Structure 1
Amino acid sequence: MKIVDLAGKRVALWGWGREGRAAYTALRTRLPPQALTLFCSEAEAVEAAASHDPLLAIEHAPNGERLGAFDVVVKSPGISPYSPAALVAAASGTHFIGGTALWFGERADADGNLPSTICVTGTKGKSTTSSLLAHLLRAAGMRTALAGNIGVPLLELLDGQAEAWAIELSSYQTRDVAASGARPGIAIVTNLHPEHLDWHGSEARYIEDKLALLTEAKPRIAVLNAADPRLAALPLPDSEIQWYGDARGWHLREDALYRADEFVMDTASLPLPGWHNRSNLCAVLTALDAFGLDAAALAPHAATFQPLPNRLQPLGERDGILYVNDSISTTPMATLAALALYRDRPVALLVGGHDRGLPWDEFAAAMRTQAPRAIVTLGQNGPRIRVLLDPIAEARGFALSSASDLAEAMSQARAALPAGGVVLLSPGAPSFGMYKDYVARGRHFAELAGFDPDAISGIAGMGIA
């Protein structure tokens, strides 16, 4: 669908975050006389009203009947199409679409192809992979866009010109690519673990929506992690598959980076903490080869990559204690990966947040052999995690406590550690309810630890450069 296809239709916008504002600007620029209705919160309505747009009607909290009055609703990614109101409206014929789909529809060639796009998704690692991909593309001298879920909506770059597009897609956006009718040049999928079950409604639908980037958008080349069992078993007759993570392609042997049987470089000193982050480098190099570049020649440029904030981010030491900000961690599997990085040091782990129903049994089982010095639970799902860990803590002898907020959790963590210890914020859960988002949670963690939150929050390289 192109934006011009909305002309004369009954069109609404649902959401006024950065994605919603980008969609409004794109529609108003392309369709100046188009009447629009915006559904948003009361606080957002104040900002939207400041546009003084006589063709923009503003309403709150739509129900299914109200949404059903529109032909097309352009919704922000965080709004689930599986919500009761959306399902009622869809049943009456309302078409829901996101800004990602509009961008792909606008940019595709006459046959629907977008060969310059490299889409990146996965439960974990997609932001680092996208950023590292853009970094190495620029090292190759290519004018490159870094956009999408990482923080710059694609519609903000609707008329931007780039030789390569590194696009991060969340599970909220992957089906949008397929809905646009466009075919990406390359799609990278890093891994699949249960997440966002509250938005998708079930693990099966999360996986289905995530994989729509492959199964429905049918990229020309699919770059897949051979170590992920779901990806390894996935039939993709319409795409050429390039594997990473095993001896067929780019892979790691301890810290050594190989392309098939060819040793390329040692990765131990790269600014990519943890084996899983260096695995993301393998994904990027595979995509660069598929893009027609000399990935082996570009690999050393990973040494100048600037790591992303809130992702296993060492903030520094205070009174002999290292503080590590992994606020982006929103699954138990991500927390286990963070713990593995500091297995040789005494760690006090802070876990818990918004409860969206993910199981913590596997995490609890791992604590029988991989427990840190101390675990502090907090947040909405803190009590549920605590119940699972209580008998294990008693048997294995690690300290286990609960806190009402992050400040109390950090106080308990510090008290449990000797000099040389690590306070690790890797909550394995979203921040909703306590914070606006994981960035706000990471900033507060930094502030409580005695560091400048502004100095740790920026992501380098977004946009076109």
Structure 2
Amino acid sequence: MGSQEVSTVDWQGKHVTVAGLGVSGIPAARALHRRGAVVTVVNDGDDDRSRAQAAELEAHGITVRLGDGATLPPSTELVVTAPGWQPDKPLFLAAAEAGVPVWGDVELAWRLRGTDGRPAAPWLAVTGTNGKTTTVRMLASILEAAGLRTAAVGNIGVSLLDAVLDEEGYDVLAVELSSYQLHWAPSLRAHSAAVLNLAPDHLDWHGSMEAYAADKGRVYEGNTVACVYNAADPATEDLVRGADVVEGCRAIGFTLGAPGPSQLGVVDDILVDRAFVPDRQKQAQELAEVADVNPPAPHNIANALAAAALARAFGVAPAAVRDGLRAFRQDAHRIEHVADLDSVAYVDDSKATNTHAAEASLAAYDSIVWIAGGLAKGATFDALVAGAAERLRGVVLMGADRALIREALERHAPKVPVVDLDRTDTGAMSEAVARAAELAGPGDTVLLAPACASMDMFVNYNKRGEAFAEAVRARADESA
């Protein structure tokens, strides 16, 4: 059955060790606990952030062991690991010696798909050293244009576990996969998959370029329809040649030049398909114009061709490829660089309306003046602040529930300068930007990542982000 096959596991009473707190470990622990597994979470860290996360899990009856991620708990029958944990960690060596399997978050999601009566959506998977996120989001846009219920998942967008457990179900998922995730996903079998490119990366984790490439190549294992490779990067085609795929699965190349048979490429500023046509020796199908790709830079055209190849492998019509590419835009107010002023970067992440999103945003920069606050919606901020404390150079708070963040800063980052704006009018954003500029120095990033909803001051997060960008541009105009 290939990508439609569903794996069933009886979780009731199964002793599962989840390795690592964080964006993958916490939802994995909760999902397993809900299915009756006996879950123990182990974590190397024992800091304020970890203790706050542990307390939330323990309140649901999940055991958490902090400060000891090396020892395999007794009776463990399965280890589910966060993707970043290196394979040579003592925990995994102990698991191997005891004959205990190790799964990653992707493997767990793959095993849980199609359970509880939900349909098992096929996966269109994308990996590579660069361009994964853009390609997956382009692919999702194309699939949506074709009228399919889909989501961009994996390292981006909707949580992969949330997607496979969604009650309504999806027609197909566009899945971004890192080399870490692929390493720990032995039974993943995608409908079709693409490796965009290969360059040395994460070699400290994988140990060698060969091991890194091999883990990337896992995305092709068991593909049923198409293995998409980059004709300009022979290493990606080599991975296709070495893959064990379902009989009839095809190798499909993409190129910025004129395509040969079984390829997608570019002719006279037109994206064309010579792979999914009745006679690929003599026919070519127009998909879109280069001008439909935004921005039409070469690397982005390559991303569009890879996305188009996966969509066409799933049977999407040419018009939907065109419409999906035309509709695609980078997310506004999501890690959006607004300007550089006096060697300080100003970044709008107004879409970070909760602590989870803000955590990812704060982790992206080394030296931050943070603009935060709004409606907390019952959230607590200790774990978020504790995790970011070392990177904070200053904080500007505004909004109705700013005191909750201020109190967390007092507990976990008492030496960080804090400006508390006692106002909730929309004009507060201009003052917030001005005060943040006073706190920032060369090399810093002024980051709007509120960790709160916007409705106390703005109609939505878009308006909040626009107010931030307008305030930054006004400062730029003043200094011009």
Q: Deviation per CA, 1:137-164, whole angstroms, max 9, x where unpaired? A: 1111111122111143311233220111
2:293 and 2:271 map into 1 onto residues whose CA distance is 11
Q: How does 1:40-439 map to 2 (within 5 A)?
A: 40=43, 41-42=45-46, 43-53=49-59, 55-62=61-68, 64-67=70-73, 70-107=76-113, 116-160=122-166, 161-177=169-185, 179-180=186-187, 182-214=188-220, 216-234=221-239, 235=241, 236=243, 238=245, 239-245=249-255, 247-248=259-260, 249-253=263-267, 255-260=269-274, 261=284, 264-268=287-291, 270-272=293-295, 274-308=297-331, 315-316=338-339
Deviation at 1:136, TM superposition (A): 1.2
Deviation at 1:207, TM superposition (A): 0.9
The residue matched to 1:213 in structure 2 has which SS? helix
2:59 and 2:368 map into 1 onto residues whose CA distance is 42
* 1:3–1:16 distance in 2 versus 1, CA, 3 Å: farther
Task: Give unpaired runs (5+ residues) of structure 1.
Answer: 326-352, 355-377, 380-404, 408-431, 437-442, 459-465
What root-mean-square deviation, in Å, do the aligned CA atoms of Structure 1 and Structure 2 show?
4.1
Asked if 1 retains the 8 angstrom alpha-carbon contact of 2:127 and 2:196, the reply is yes
Aligned length: 346
1:117 and 1:55 map into 2 onto residues whose CA distance is 33
Aligned residue for 1:425? Answer: none
2:346 and 2:196 map into 1 onto residues whose CA distance is 23
1:266 and 1:67 map into 2 onto residues whose CA distance is 57
Q: Deviation per CA, 1:254-308, whole angstroms, max 9, x where unpaired? A: 8542334555543246323631111110011111111111134431431221215
Letter in 2 for 1:206: Y
Q: Deviation per CA, 1:397-429, whole angstroms, max 9, x where unpaired? A: xxxxxxxx799xxxxxxxxxxxxxxxxxxxxxx
1:134 and 1:146 map into 2 onto residues whose CA distance is 6
Q: Deviation per CA, 1:74-107, whole angstroms, max 9, x where unpaired? A: 1111212232442243223232112211221222
The residue matched to 1:66 in structure 2 has which SS? coil
Asked if 1 retains the 8 angstrom alpha-carbon contact of 2:138 and 2:324, the reply is no
1:125 and 1:433 map into 2 onto residues whose CA distance is 30
More deviation, 292-301/2-11: 2-11
The residue matched to 1:257 in structure 2 has which SS? strand
Aligned residue for 2:414? Answer: none
Deviation at 1:451, TM superposition (A): 7.5
1:304 and 1:446 map into 2 onto residues whose CA distance is 37
Q: Deviation per CA, 1:188-236, whole angstroms, max 9, x where unpaired? A: 211111111122222211111111121x344432122221111223414
Asked if 2 retains the 8 angstrom alpha-carbon contact of 1:447 and 1:453, the reply is no
Out of 12, 21, 30, the position equivalent to 1:7 is: 12
1:324 and 1:240 map into 2 onto residues whose CA distance is 46
* 1:185–1:435 distance in 2 versus 1, CA, 3 Å: farther
2:368 and 2:128 map into 1 onto residues whose CA distance is 28
**TM-score scaled to structure 2, two decimals?**
0.61
Q: Alignment identity in percent?
A: 29
1:323 and 1:237 map into 2 onto residues whose CA distance is 47
Q: Deviation per CA, 1:317-373, whole angstroms, max 9, x where unpaired? A: 759x99798xxxxxxxxxxxxxxxxxxxxxxxxxxx99xxxxxxxxxxxxxxxxxxx
Aligned residue for 1:38? Answer: 41
Letter in 2 for 1:242: I
Asked if 1 retains the 8 angstrom alpha-carbon contact of 2:121 and 2:173, the reply is no
Task: Give unpaired runs (5+ residues) of structure 2.
Answer: 1-5, 275-283, 348-362, 370-387, 393-435, 451-460, 466-480
The residue matched to 1:315 in structure 2 has which SS? strand
Asked if 2 retains the 8 angstrom alpha-carbon contact of 1:273 and 1:312, the reply is no
Deviation at 1:447, TM superposition (A): 10
Letter in 2 for 1:289: R
